[in-house]
Structure 1
Amino acid sequence: MGDEMFEKSLLIKTKEGFGFRNITDTIEFFVEGSGVDFGSCHIWSVHTTCALIIEENQEALMNDYLSLFRTIKSIGEKNGHMHTNTDKTTRRVAGFCHDCKDCSDCERRNAAAHIISSLLGKQKILQISGGKLTLGKYQNVIFIDFDGGQERFLNIQIYGYDETSRILHLL
């Protein structure tokens, strides 16, 4: 077989607000179907308000994440931003600047979603060994949408080679 590259897109339909989706089994399915025994799997979101984490998929922990995300969102809503008026004076306005109809043309009012997803990251690169993702006992690939209620896409690229090619490379 030799060196291989396999590409796949994954469509995820999300619910309103913040949402988590464990995609580990789907990614494993793609890896197994690729024929790659040793290599890497690159997963990335093509959306600016989504993130990927490697984490334990435990409900209480996901609730802790949600609590933290809501806290970050409330900080922006509470502290607000400085708005420059047409006469060049400034005033403090509630909410993030991106969410302000006078400052931004974005209708979704989703500044917190952009900020939180950037802090967590939109991509992961995982090792493949023996035809499987190399994950710890409690590690899962979790997709998070901070601005839900939409169709989301993840791109997946799998690079590597099969066992036969590995042996030939070692000789």
Structure 2
Amino acid sequence: MEILEVKTSEREEMVDITGQVRSLVRKNGWNNGALLLYCPHTTGAITVNEGADPDVVRDIVVNMRKLIPHHGDYRHMEGNSDAHIKTSLFGPEQMLIVDGGEVMLGTWQHIFFCEFDGPRARKLWAQFMPC
């Protein structure tokens, strides 16, 4: 298992980690198999979405804030219930195909770490499963 480190600067943001993931695959010589990316934090998630137009990320963050506001009818005493809900919607992991040493993504797809309770220093776990 390898660990990726991500530092966030805002309470809610999506950080493009595509380059870090591709570098990790190259550094370790992983060729053909599946790469599991997992976030061990209850207020962070991993997703794949469009990375070519930054407005897509902006639209996701802004509209998640509207759908699940920071302050609402929550009982969790830490004040970050919205972050837990958003994380559950996105999910803590992504399984990616690695073929010929390359992470297989669609033309516009990038890999994002989703921060919902930052800013923080986060760690993501990466496990390669060869086939």
- TM > 0.5: yes
| Alpha-carbon distance change, 12 to 75 in structure 1, aligned in 2, over 3 angstroms | closer
- Shift of residue 24 of structure 1? 0.6
Q: Whose radius of gyration is greater, 1 or 2?
A: 1
What fraction of aligned residue pairs are identical, expressed as a percent?
A: 28
1:157 aligns to what? 127
**1:73 pairs with 2:68:** yes
CA distance in 2, matches of 1:146, 1:75: 10
The 2-side partners of 1:47 and 1:75 are apart by 18
Is residue 17 of structure 2 the alignment partner of residue 23 of structure 1?
yes
Q: Is the 8 A contact 1:72 1:112 kept in 2?
A: no
Shift in Å, 1:159: 2.0
Contact 1:24 1:142 in 2 (8 A): yes
Q: Number of residues paired by the alignment?
A: 130
Q: Which runs of 5+ in 2 are unaligned?
A: none
Which residue in the other structure is 2:32 paired with? 38
Q: Which has the higher helix share?
A: 1
TM-score normalized with structure 2 length? 0.92
Cα RMSD, aligned residues only = 1.5
How far, CA to CA, are the matches of 2:7 and 2:128 in structure 1? 23
| Structure 1: 4+ residue segments shifted above 4 A | none
1:88 is matched with which residue?
none
TM-score norm. by structure 1 comes to 0.71
Residue 97 of structure 1 pairs with residue 97 of structure 2: no
Structure 1: 5+ residue runs without aligned partners?
1-6, 81-95, 99-103, 162-171
Hey, what's the Cα distance between the residues in 2 that align with 1:133 and 1:153?
20
Structure 2 equivalent of residue 126 of structure 1: 96
